[in-house]
């Protein structure tokens, strides 16, 4: 039996289900640890979205259910809000 990915395992599903998306340049590994600690102190589970490469940087998306959490994350780490894909755009990209 093949198991389906959970909400937390699938970046595309995270972006679909958690509409407040913050994209930032992939930080050094020590900052990734700080991001994890930030989530833990707020009792939030990390939900990552898709990544992409645009010369010369890698970008990663963090997905949140609540706009306030996304705003707090941006205040702590920077990044920009990314609008979620509309249903029509999602269908055309599938």
Reported as half-sphere exposure (CB side, CA atoms, 13 A), residue 11 has a value of: 10
pLDDT in tens, 4-47: 545 567 888 888 889 999 999 988 888 888 999 999 999 999 99
Q: Is the pLDDT of residue 60 over 70?
A: yes
Residue 85 confidence (pLDDT) = 67
For the chain, domain boundaries: 11-84
pTM above the 0.75 mark?
Answer: yes
CATH code that applies to domain 11-84? 3.30.70
67-77 vs 29-41: helix crossing angle, rounded to 10: 140
Q: How many CB atoms lie within 10 A of CB 39?
A: 17
CA triplet 28, 32, 34: central angle to 5 degrees?
115
């Amino acid at each position: 039996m093949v198991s389906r990915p959970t909400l937390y395992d699938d970046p595309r599903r995270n972006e679909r289900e958690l509409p407040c998306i913050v994209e930032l340049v992939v930080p050094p590994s020590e900052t990734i640890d700080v991001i994890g600690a930030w989530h833990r102190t707020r009792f939030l589970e990390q939900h990552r979205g898709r990544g992409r490469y645009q010369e010369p940087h890698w970008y990663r998306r963090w997905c949140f259910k609540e706009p306030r959490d996304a705003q707090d994350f941006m205040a702590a780490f920077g990044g920009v809000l990314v609008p979620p894909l509309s249903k029509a755009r999602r269908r055309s990209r599938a």
